[in-house]
Amino acid sequence: MSAASGTSHRNPVVAAREALGSASDAVRDWWAGAPKWARYLTYLVLIVLLVLAPSDAVGRIMTPDSYWPGVLFFPIGVYILLAIGLNVVVGQAGLLDLGYVAFWAIGGYTLAVLATRYGMNFWEVVVIAVVISAISGLILGAPTLRLRGDYLAIVTLGFGEIVRITAQNSEFLGGVAGIKNIPHPPSIEGVSIFGVDIFRYGIVDLRPYYYLLLALGVLVVVFVRRLEKSRVGRAWAAIREDEDAAEIMGVPTFRFKLLAFVVGASIGGLTGVVYAAEAISVLPNAFQFIVSATVLICVVLGGSGNLPGVVIGAFLIAWLPERFRGFQEWRFLVFGALLVILMAWRPEGLLPSRQRRAELKEGQGGMGSMGAEVGGPKTSAAAEVAE
């Protein structure tokens, strides 16, 4: 068959995927060369849009069958913040964590215990919960990060279940009934944006909680982005691509993997505190394995290792079931079908980094060397199979 004939019979799915990849590369190249004023203007426009997002006009389009400000807070806002934290572990350091929900639970229970039984202020608990979550990540990572791939995934999965079952069977943590009557953050009267008292926290209007989560999310994004561009981020990338080679080159791999766990755990704990304050209760059944799996799907679907892609993936995963709520019992079937189509059409994610795309091309599972190698024609995995 001639080259022209081969081109004319080209698979349209492959052609569309390559066109999307070229478009995303063009946007990325433009952004890399954009002047500072263009970047800051883009950030400003984005923040203005996010501030206006809870309006009723937007809600009638996005979730006509649900309370839009509530959906914006949970699941959308919570999933985005959790996905950013898990992306540090999975996307940047290449460590498969299947128990990430544990850190979310630790943050929520920290607020519940300290606020209801010791009368501590929300903002005091935020700092304490982040520290306790970081220590939990340290405790989990120290004995387990010598493991790799599937073994590490199994251990982290067990950690997530241990935390949930411990809370479920502990009278101090409320047992199956959990802990209720968690106080709201202290309110400040008289501060409003577009008619919304953004510091007046309660159960009627959830927009102040959305703005609180938005402010914390901006701080987390800036922090994670600075880490990614630093020596720490470069070390994580080296570990993800080839841990043995990174260690030979002098990178203290264990120390940097442990740091990834600590940072990811801190973000998960912070999210848990805000969630518990809005929900005014925490229950063990809210922190099941399915949450860890869903957040991992957000990271993979959006583009593991690429922060904007992860945010987009988390938004879609959280928003689509609410958008199709009118389908009643069929909405999860539609949601699942869309996920299958998206991952078949775009296995590297909707907005992957170039690094991850190169890893997929080399035959790795898309998240570095995590025991998920796919045997391509030029990979060592294929050579082992051939032998």
- Domain boundaries, given as residue ranges, for the chain: 10-52, 67-329
Q: What is the pLDDT along the chain (387 residues), one digit of tens a residue?
A: 444 444 445 677 667 767 766 777 777 777 777 888 988 899 999 999 999 999 999 999 999 989 999 999 999 999 999 999 999 999 999 999 999 999 999 999 999 999 999 999 999 999 999 999 999 999 999 999 888 888 999 999 999 999 999 999 999 999 999 999 999 999 988 888 877 888 999 888 999 999 999 999 999 999 999 999 999 999 999 999 889 999 999 999 999 999 999 999 999 999 999 999 999 999 999 999 999 999 999 999 999 889 999 999 999 999 988 888 877 677 778 778 878 887 778 777 888 877 766 666 665 544 544 444 433 334 443 333 333
Q: Which residues contact 139 (CB under 8 A, 6 or more apart)?
A: none
Which residues share a beta bridge with 180? 281
Q: What was the pLDDT predicted at 353?
A: 74
Q: How far apart (Å, rounded) are the C-alpha atoms in residues 182 and 277?
A: 6
Render pLDDT for 335-376 as a digit per residue (tens, 0 to 9): 788 788 877 787 778 888 777 666 666 655 445 444 444 333
**Torsion angle of C-alpha atoms 181, 184, 190, 193, degrees rounded to 10:** -120
Please indicate, yes or no, whether the overall pTM of this predicted structure exceeds 0.85.
Answer: yes
Q: How far apart (Å, rounded) are the C-alpha atoms in residues 34 and 293?
A: 36
Q: Maximum CA pair distance of the chain?
A: 77
The hierarchical CATH code for the domain 67-329 is 1.10.3470
Burial of 158 (0-12, 13-18, 19+ CB in 10 A): middle
Helix 307-323 vs helix 78-87: crossing angle, to nearest 10: 150
Render pLDDT for 54-103 as a digit per residue (tens, 0 to 9): 999 999 999 998 999 999 999 999 999 999 999 999 999 999 999 999 99
Q: What angle do CA 302, 305, 307 make, to 5 degrees?
A: 65
Helix (H) or strand (E) holding 46: helix 36-52
Q: How many CB atoms lie within 10 A of CB 239?
A: 26
